[in-house]
């Protein structure tokens, strides 16, 4: 199985969509799908069987994922310029698919990075609001555009906010973006080891540092927030371990922690769940992109809740 990127639960609350990066070797990290004819967008049933797949040949480094209210599938390609072959028109793009893989929309300029309204530089993630507005985390590099770009449901640019830095409203590597049930926009400002919270017009509402170094963010319908931290260690975020933190999205209180049991960032940094999602029964799924030295490498791992 290829490196697992982001995962999202389908609108039925039971099936799970995931980015799977084409079964390439670890040496090809950052461009796993460049020469592959494998599908990189997979849908799993509750038993782990693949029931739908598409996306072959469309991406070099598929990364972000969201499922909108109609069940459409949104995917970002966060490949860096150095990993795009000369003349290749993939990358720096956000693609909307139907649930069966028909391309419905593209936002961005294929294969071309930039900071204009229809350019991205390594877009990490995407979130679609209830009204259809599209929020794109741009992007993966700590020294890139470091902004959130907002579009209407037709893909028309509305606004952007953010720049590189440490102050509220500034970012260093927007790795995740998600919208909570109250409509607030949560941004995983990973290299600053914090979550920043905004309204949908970009007004800063708060900053949380208690969830570690956030790589992935998800919410359930019971008032909980789930944050995957795949990078914390004594150098990048002293005092925190990698794993999945679970708290209250209204207060930010962390209530539970899923420790990654074989996590040793001194062996391979980033070897925990990088993204997280939760199904209607409270089962938690973590996507693991980098193979640590154990037999269960590169896994979409399912954790079953054993108490409320």
Q: Which domains, and CATH codes, for the chain?
A: 213-308 (2.40.10)
Alpha-carbon 177 to chain mean position: 7
- The helix (H) or strand (E) run that includes residue 287 is strand 284-287
Distance CA 67, CA 146 (A): 23
Q: What is the dihedral of CA 220, 224, 225, 227, to 10 degrees?
A: -100
Which residues sit opposite 157 in a β-bridge? 151
Q: pLDDT for 64-120, tens place per residue?
A: 999 999 999 999 999 999 999 999 999 999 999 999 999 999 999 999 999 999 999
Q: Are 232 and 190 in contact (CB under 8 A)?
A: no
- 232 confidence band (pLDDT: 50, 70, 90): confident
Q: How far apart are CA 260 and CA 279, in angstroms?
A: 20
In the chain, the largest separation of any two C-alpha atoms, in whole Å, equals: 53
Closest CA relative to residue 210, chosen from 172, 177, 248:
248
pLDDT in tens, 43-76: 999 999 999 999 999 999 999 999 999 999 999 9
Contact (CB, 8 A) for 126 and 138:
no
CB 94 within 8 A of CB 76: yes
pLDDT score of 250 more than 80: yes
- What is the C-alpha separation between 184 and 145, in angstroms, rounded? 22
Exposure of 219 in the CB half-sphere (CA atoms within 13 A) = 21
**Residue 187 contacts residue 200 (beta carbons within 8 Å):** no
Q: Is-contact 74 126, C-beta < 8 A? A: yes
Tell how far CA 140 is from the center of its chain: 10
Please work out, in degrees rounded to the nearest 5, the angle formed at the alpha carbon of residue 302 by the alpha carbons of 19 and 270.
Answer: 60
User: What's the pLDDT tens digit per position in 255-280?
Assistant: 999 987 655 555 555 567 899 999 99
Query: Does residue 14 have a cis peptide bond before it, meaning omega lies within 30 degrees of 0?
Result: no
Nearest of 18, 32, 33 to residue 216 by alpha carbon: 18
């Amino acid at each position: 199985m290829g490196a697992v990127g982001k995962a999202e639960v389908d609108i039925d609350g039971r099936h799970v969509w995931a980015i799977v990066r084409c079964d390439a070797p670890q040496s090809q990290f950052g461009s796993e799908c460049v020469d592959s004819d494998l599908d990189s967008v997979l849908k799993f049933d509750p038993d782990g069987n693949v029931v739908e797949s598409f996306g072959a040949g469309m991406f070099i480094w598929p990364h972000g994922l969201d499922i909108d209210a109609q069940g459409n599938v949104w995917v970002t390609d966060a490949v860096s310029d150095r990993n795009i072959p000369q003349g290749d028109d993939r990358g720096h793009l956000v693609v909307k698919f139907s649930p069966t893989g028909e391309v419905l929309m593209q936002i961005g300029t294929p294969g071309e990075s930039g900071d204009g309204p229809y350019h991205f530089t390594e877009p990490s993630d995407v979130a679609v609001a209830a009204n259809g507005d599209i929020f794109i985390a741009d992007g993966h590099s700590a020294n890139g555009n470091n902004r959130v770009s907002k579009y209407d449901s037709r893909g028309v640019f509305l606004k952007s906010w953010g720049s590189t830095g440490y102050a509220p409203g500034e970012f260093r590597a927007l790795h995740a973006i998600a919208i909570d049930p109250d409509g607030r926009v949560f941004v995983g400002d990973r290299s600053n080891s914090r979550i920043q919270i905004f309204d949908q017009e970009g007004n800063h509402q708060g900053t949380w540092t208690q969830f570690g170094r956030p790589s992935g963010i998800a919410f359930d319908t019971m008032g909980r927030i789930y944050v995957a931290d795949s990078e914390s260690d004594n150098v990048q975020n002293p005092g925190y371990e990698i794993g999945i933190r679970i708290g209250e999205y209204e207060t930010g209180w962390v209530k539970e922690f899923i420790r990654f049991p074989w996590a040793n960032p001194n062996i391979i940094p980033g070897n925990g769940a990088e993204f997280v999602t939760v199904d209607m029964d409270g089962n938690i799924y973590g996507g693991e992109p980098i193979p640590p030295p154990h037999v269960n490498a590169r896994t979409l791992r399912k954790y079953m809740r054993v108490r409320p």
